[in-house]
């Protein structure tokens, strides 16, 4: 099969309406609202960033180093996707950059991620241009103590639901450090505006991206997922896998092409084709040779009986393509959660593992035995104790936004653009 000639399936509005109703009964924490909020979060982050100090200007203007895990790290990957240059953002997941590194962002939504706190404590003083991004927690306290700029994200989100904030603040900082050009941010802001208008204008049952999500969710239900992706799609492949893991409590894994065709695929030889699905995620600007390699891999697994699915996108540039795929990935995970009868917000394993990693709570010291009474009277006055206490609103899009988001996967009858074959 030529994976690029397979047209994405589009569910009917009636089919989507049915699953949306089921989702909203299960979605007690309103994860869907946060998905739809993505473009507004990005624009809010741009507005909020204007009031923050960017720290020392890095000596090197060619890249930034982002230390983070989970959604904080994925934001760095997605910036690389949008800039069409993954080397602009070097993401460190639990690792420390070399000591002489310049241009370092330490990002943790909660500000309490154990591994990130440990790393931040080690890098302080050894690296330059540090800026922390967080909603609070220990990382914020450390920033105050170390006089390091802290760029704040609003509280009240699951970390994965604050992606737009993490992405927008990080790229705003890169602009201030002259690592990203202002015109690139303008393109991202325009893409966010168009997507916001599109999502606001259409009911979920009518929006083509959301209608394209349900057939993917239906196909992969009951099957573990492998996402085959090119390097240019590292961020969206990671987002898709992570959202399936967390929102859907669903097994999903990633294999990069072409590297994985030289090793990882041998580990798939004994898989039951009825229990696995393959999603193929490439970039329109990937070379013809690489796109042919994708088709060869898809043809092989299709012949072996595996479900093989393309992952569509909408948009006229890399920023719109990436944002549209984020929304598609998120809705695939939400609809899959609904099909499985799961609350998409609830996590079971991650909190348990985090709890086990916390240091044991120490028992309070026992009360000392009372001193024997003495006839002598102390004249020592106790020293007075002095205590001190240390002591983001979302940006709302204006009314005069662009009219429509450029839809490239508009309807069942619309022809797929050549760049998204």
pTM, whole model, 2 decimals?
A: 0.83
Q: Which helix (H) or strand (E) holds 248?
A: helix 234-248
The verdict on residue 308 lying in a domain is yes
Strands, sheet with 276-281, edge to edge from the N-terminal-most edge strand:
252-256, 224-229, 276-281, 307-310
Can you give the pLDDT at residue 400?
Answer: 42
DSSP bridge partners of 309: 279
* pLDDT at position 342 over 60: yes
Q: Are residues 180 and 126 in the same domain?
A: yes
Alpha helices in 31-146, H assignment, sequence order: 31-36, 38-49, 71-82, 114-123, 137-146
Q: Could you tell me the pLDDT band of residue 240, with boundaries at 50, 70 and 90?
A: very high
Range of the domain at 266: 3-27+203-346
The verdict on residue 353 lying in a domain is no
Q: Are residues 41 and 188 in the same domain?
A: yes
Query: Which of the two residues, 369 and 111, has the higher pLDDT score?
Result: 111
Select from 180, 198, 216 the last residue of a domain: 198
Can you give the pLDDT at residue 316?
Answer: 87
Average pLDDT of span 244-255 = 97
Q: Are residues 75 and 210 in the same domain?
A: no
Q: Could you tell me the pLDDT band of residue 293, with boundaries at 50, 70 and 90?
A: very high
End-to-end CA distance of the chain: 13
Q: Are residues 247 and 186 in the same domain?
A: no
Q: Are residues 194 and 225 in the same domain?
A: no
Q: Which two tokens stand for residue 33?
A: 């609202």
* pLDDT at position 238 over 50: yes
Average pLDDT of span 335-341 = 97
Average pLDDT of span 140-160 = 91
Q: Are residues 124 and 184 in the same domain?
A: yes
Can you give the pLDDT at residue 63?
Answer: 84
**3-state secondary structure at position 141:** helix
Average pLDDT of span 265-277 = 96
Q: What is the mean pLDDT of the chain?
A: 84
* pLDDT at position 216 over 60: yes
* Tens digit of each residue's pLDDT (9 = 90 or more) over 64-115: 899 999 988 999 999 999 988 778 899 999 888 887 777 889 999 999 888 8
The verdict on residue 356 lying in a domain is no
* Tens digit of each residue's pLDDT (9 = 90 or more) over 35-69: 999 999 999 999 999 888 777 666 566 788 999 99
Alpha helices in 304-377, H assignment, sequence order: 318-340, 349-357
Q: Could you tell me the pLDDT band of residue 158, with boundaries at 50, 70 and 90?
A: very high
Can you give the pLDDT at residue 363?
Answer: 57
Q: Are residues 230 and 269 in the same domain?
A: yes
CATH number for the domain spanning 107: value is 3.40.50.10490
**3-state secondary structure at position 23:** helix
* Tens digit of each residue's pLDDT (9 = 90 or more) over 372-402: 454 444 444 444 443 443 344 443 334 443 4
Can you give the pLDDT at residue 404?
Answer: 41
Q: How many domains does the chain have?
A: 2
Q: Are residues 43 and 191 in the same domain?
A: yes
């Amino acid at each position: 099969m030529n994976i690029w000639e397979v047209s994405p399936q589009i569910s009917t509005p009636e089919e989507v309406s049915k699953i949306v109703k089921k989702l909203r009964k299960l979605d007690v924490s309103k994860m869907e609202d946060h998905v739809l909020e993505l473009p507004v979060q990005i624009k809010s982050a741009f507005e909020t960033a204007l009031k923050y100090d960017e720290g020392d200007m890095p000596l090197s203007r060619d890249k930034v180093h982002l230390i983070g895990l989970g959604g904080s790290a994925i934001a760095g990957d997605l910036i690389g996707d949008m800039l069409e240059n993954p080397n602009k953002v070097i993401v460190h997941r639990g690792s420390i950059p070399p000591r002489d590194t310049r241009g370092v962002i330490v990002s943790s939504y909660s500000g309490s991620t154990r591994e990130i706190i440990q790393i931040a404590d080690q890098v302080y003083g050894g690296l330059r241009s540090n800026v922390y991004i967080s909603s609070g927690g220990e990382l914020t306290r450390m920033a105050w103590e170390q006089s390091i700029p802290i760029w704040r994200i609003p509280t009240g989100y699951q970390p994965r639901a604050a992606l737009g904030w993490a992405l927008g603040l990080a790229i705003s900082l890169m602009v201030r450090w002259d690592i990203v050009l202002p015109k690139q941010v303008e393109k991202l802001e325009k893409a966010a505006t168009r997507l916001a208008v599109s999502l606001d204008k259409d009911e979920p049952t009518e929006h083509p991206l959301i209608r394209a999500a349900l057939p993917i969710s239906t196909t992969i239900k009951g099957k573990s997922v492998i996402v085959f992706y090119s390097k240019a799609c590292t961020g969206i492949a990671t987002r898709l896998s992570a959202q399936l893991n967390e929102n859907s409590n669903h097994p999903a894994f990633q294999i990069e092409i072409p590297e994985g065709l030289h090793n990882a695929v041998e580990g798939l030889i004994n898989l039951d084709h009825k229990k696995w699905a393959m999603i193929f995620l490439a970039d329109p600007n990937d070379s013809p040779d690489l796109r042919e390699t994708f088709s060869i891999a898809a043809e092989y697994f299709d012949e072996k009986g595996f479900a093989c699915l393309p992952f569509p996108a909408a948009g006229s540039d890399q920023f719109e393509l990436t944002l549209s795929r984020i929304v598609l990935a998120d809705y695939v995970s939400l609809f899959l959660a609904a099909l499985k009868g799961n609350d998409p917000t609830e996590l079971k394993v991650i909190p348990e593992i985090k709890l086990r990693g916390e240091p044991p709570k120490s028992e309070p010291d026992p009360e000392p035995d009372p001193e024997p009474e003495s006839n002598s009277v102390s004249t020592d006055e106790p020293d007075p104790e002095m205590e001190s206490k240390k002591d983001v609103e979302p940006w709302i899009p204006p009314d005069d936004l662009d009219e429509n988001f450029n839809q490239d996967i508009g309807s069942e009858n619309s022809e797929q653009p050549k760049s998204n074959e």
